[in-house]
Chains A and B, each alone.
Chain A
Amino acid sequence: MSIVEARDVSVSYPVFTSSARSLKNKLLSRTTGGRVAGKSSRYAEIQALENVSFRFEPGDRVALIGHNGSGKSTLLRVMAGIYHPASGSMHVEGRVAALFDTAFGMDQESTGYENILLRGLYLGLTRAEIESQADDIAEFTELGEFLDMPIRTYSAGMVARLAFAISTAVNADVLLVDEGIGAGDAAFVAKANKRLIGFIERAPIVVLSSHDPSMIKKFCTRGLVLQRGKLLFDGPIEDAYEHYDEVVGASISS
C-alpha cells in the first residue's frame, strides 16, 4: 500500500556565510568561548516549511499550488527523502520516483542508448527493467539511427523527446513531478500526451507542482495551497484554485 503522510513537517535551511563554514573560525570560537565568533559565525536560517500536515492515499492526484518560493519544491524534496525535516515526520511507503529536472543526468558525449541506461538507472530502474523497455522507448522517440549517436549532435527538441520518453517509462508507487514535463515539437504533442496520461494513471499517488493551471486541472483532483511555507488549504482542486486566487488577490490589493 502506498502512503505519504506528513505530520507537522517543518524545514529550515541553514545559509552559511563563508566565515561560518570555516573550520578555523569554529575552532577559534571554541577556544575563546564564543566571544570572537559573535555575529560573524552566525548563520541565517530560512524557514521553508512550517508545520505542514497531510495524508495522501492511493488514488490521490495532488497539485501543489503556490507562487515562487512558497515551498513547493522543498516539500517535494522532503517527500523524496532528499531533505530531512527539522521537526515533525514524513512517512512514505512505496517506491518513489522523482522527476524534478527531466533532462538531469543526460550526458552530452554518450549515445542515445547509453543515455537511456544512464537516466533510467538514476530514476531507480534496474538494468533488467531498462533493457526490457529500451525498444519501447526507442520506438516512441522516433529517433531511429540517431540513438547510436552522441546526444550532443541532437537538436534541443530531440533531447527533450528522449528525456521525456525515458522519464515516462518509470513505474512508481509515488510519483513526484516538479514544474511539469514537456516533450518538444507540436507534432509530437498528441502522442506525448497519450503517453503522459498512461504514465500518470499507472502510479497510485501522484504529486505535481506546476505553474500551468491547464495541466494541473487535467490531471489533479486535490489541491494543496502553500504560501511562505505554510499549508493554507487542502481540498478539491477547484476549491483550491478559488482559495489561491483569494490569497493572491488579497496580497496584491494590500
Chain B
Amino acid sequence: MLKIASSDIINGLRRADLWLFLGWHDVRQRYRRSILGPFWITIASAFFIGFMTLVYSSLFRQDIATFMPLAATGLIIWGFISGSLVEGASVFIASSATIKQIPAPLPLHVFRLIWQQVIFLLHNATVIVLVMIIAKVHVTWATLLVIPGLLLVTLNLTWMVLFIGSLGARFRDVPVIVGTFMPALFLGTPVFWQVSFLPPDRRWVAFVNPFTYLLEIVRIPVLGTAPSIGLWSVCIAMTVVGWIIALFYYSRARGQLAYWI
C-alpha cells in the first residue's frame, strides 16, 4: 500500500511541467492586470511589519533593531505555514474539477499548492532582506543554514497538506477546523515574540507547539546564528514521522478520494 502511495508521489513530481506552471498561473491570476502584480504581496507584508514594529516594540519594550527582524521573519514564515495549511485542508475539494477531468497522480495538486505558497514566500522574502539591511543584521556563514531550514519546513508542510487534504476531502469539518484554529495557534507560536520573553513556567506553551520548531529553524539562521542540534533533530524527526503518517493515510484514501469530492 505504502509502495503505491510513494509511487504516486514520484509520478506526481514527474509532472513538474504542469504543477510548476499551474502554481505560477494561480499567482498571476490573482494579480492580473494590476500594475504591481504579485509585488502587492510584498507591499502588504511591508506595511503590516512596519506598523507591528512601531506598536509592539514599544509594548514589549524592545529595541526596534532587534524586534523588527524578529517579527518580520516570524510573520513571513507564519504566513507560509498558515497559508499552506488553511488552503491545504481543501486542496482536493478545490481541485475536484481537474481531478475528474485529467488523469494525473493526486499529489500533483498538493505540489501545485505548495509551489504557489513558495512563490508568495519568495516575494515576501524581499521584505526580510530589506529589514536585515535596515536593522544591520550580521550576515554570517550560519545565515546560509536558512536554505536547509526552509527545505525542512517545505517538506513538513507538504506532508501536512497531503494528510489534511485527504482527510478534508472525506470529512468536511476539517477545512473549517483548520481555518478556525490557525489564528489561535498564531498566538501560541513565537511569531512576533521569542520563547525567552515568557516566564519559565509558561514556556511549555511554545514547546508543545510543533510550529515553534518549524519557525525557529528558519528564523535563527536569518538572525545570524546556527540552530542547535536539538532543533535540527526535532525538525528532521517531524519530517520522517509525518511523512509516514501522511503516506499511510493517503494510501488508504487515494482509491476513494475521487468519489468523495
Instruction: Find chain B residues with CB under 8 A from A110 CB.
Output: 25
Instruction: Find chain B residues with CB under 8 A from A14 CB.
Output: 256, 259-260
A82 at the interface (CB under 8 A from B): yes
CB of B171 within 8 A of CB of A126, answer no
Give which listed residue, A80, A101, A121, contacts B17 with CB less than 8 A: A121
CB of A105 within 8 A of CB of B101, answer yes
A-B contact pairs, 7 of them (CB 8 A): A21-B170, A26-B171, A82-B99, A98-B102, A101-B101, A123-B102, A124-B102
Kindly provide the distance from the CB of B210 to the nearest chain A CB, expressed in whole angstroms. 21
Instruction: Find chain B residues with CB under 8 A from A21 CB.
Output: 170-173
Residue of B nearest to A100 (CB): B101
Q: How many A-B residue pairs have CB under 8 A?
A: 70
Instruction: Find chain B residues with CB under 8 A from A122 CB.
Output: 18, 98, 101-102
CB of A104 within 8 A of CB of B21, answer no
A55 at the interface (CB under 8 A from B): no
CA–CA, A96 to B255, complex, Å? Answer: 19
A211 at the interface (CB under 8 A from B): no
Residue of A nearest to B33 (CB): A109
**B-contact bits for A24-53, CB 8 A (1 contact / 0 none):** 101000000000000000000000000000
CB of A109 within 8 A of CB of B172, answer no
CB of B255 within 8 A of CB of A84, answer yes
**A-contact bits for B225-261, CB 8 A (1 contact / 0 none):** 0000000000000000000000000000011101110
Kindly provide the distance from the CB of A178 to the nearest chain B CB, expressed in whole angstroms. 10
CB of B102 within 8 A of CB of A22, answer no
Give which listed residue, B21, B177, B259, B260, contacts A118 with CB less than 8 A: B21
The secondary-structure label for the interface of chain B is helix
B174 at the interface (CB under 8 A from A): yes
Kindly provide the distance from the CB of B173 to the nearest chain A CB, expressed in whole angstroms. 4
B184 at the interface (CB under 8 A from A): no
CA–CA, A121 to B100, complex, Å? Answer: 16
User: CB within 8 Å of A: which residues of B?
Assistant: 17-18, 21-22, 25, 29, 32, 97-104, 170-174, 177, 254-256, 258-260
CA–CA, A16 to B172, complex, Å? Answer: 11
A230 at the interface (CB under 8 A from B): no
Instruction: Find chain B residues with CB under 8 A from A127 CB.
Output: 17
User: CB within 8 Å of B: which residues of A?
Assistant: 13-14, 16, 18, 21-24, 26, 77, 80-84, 96, 98, 100-101, 104-105, 107, 109-110, 117-118, 121-124, 126-127
Given A23-B171, A83-B259, A121 and B101 contact (CB-CB distance below 8 Å): no
Instruction: Find chain B residues with CB under 8 A from A121 CB.
Output: 17-18, 21-22
Q: Given known contacts A84-B255, A109-B29, what 16 new A-B pairs fall within 8 Å (CB)?
A: A16-B260, A18-B172, A21-B171, A21-B173, A77-B100, A81-B103, A82-B102, A84-B254, A84-B258, A98-B101, A98-B102, A121-B17, A121-B22, A122-B98, A122-B101, A124-B103
Kindly provide the distance from the CB of A186 to the nearest chain B CB, expressed in whole angstroms. 28
CA–CA, A82 to B106, complex, Å? Answer: 9
Kindly provide the distance from the CB of B261 to the nearest chain A CB, expressed in whole angstroms. 11
CB of B32 within 8 A of CB of A82, answer no
CA–CA, A100 to B174, complex, Å? Answer: 31
CA–CA, A198 to B112, complex, Å? Answer: 34
Given A98-B101, A126-B17, A82 and B258 contact (CB-CB distance below 8 Å): yes
Instruction: Find chain B residues with CB under 8 A from A80 CB.
Output: 103
Q: Which 5 residue pairs of A and B lie closest in terms of their CB atoms, listed nearest first?
A: A84-B255, A80-B103, A23-B171, A23-B173, A121-B18
Instruction: Find chain A residues with CB under 8 A from B260 CB.
Output: 14, 16
CA–CA, A118 to B21, complex, Å? Answer: 8
CB of B98 within 8 A of CB of A105, answer yes
Give which listed residue, A16, A24, A98, A107, contacts B103 with CB less than 8 A: A98
CA–CA, A245 to B170, complex, Å? Answer: 41
Instruction: Find chain B residues with CB under 8 A from A117 CB.
Output: 21
Instruction: Find chain A residues with CB under 8 A from B98 CB.
Output: 104-105, 122
CA–CA, A104 to B18, complex, Å? Answer: 15
CB of A104 within 8 A of CB of B171, answer no
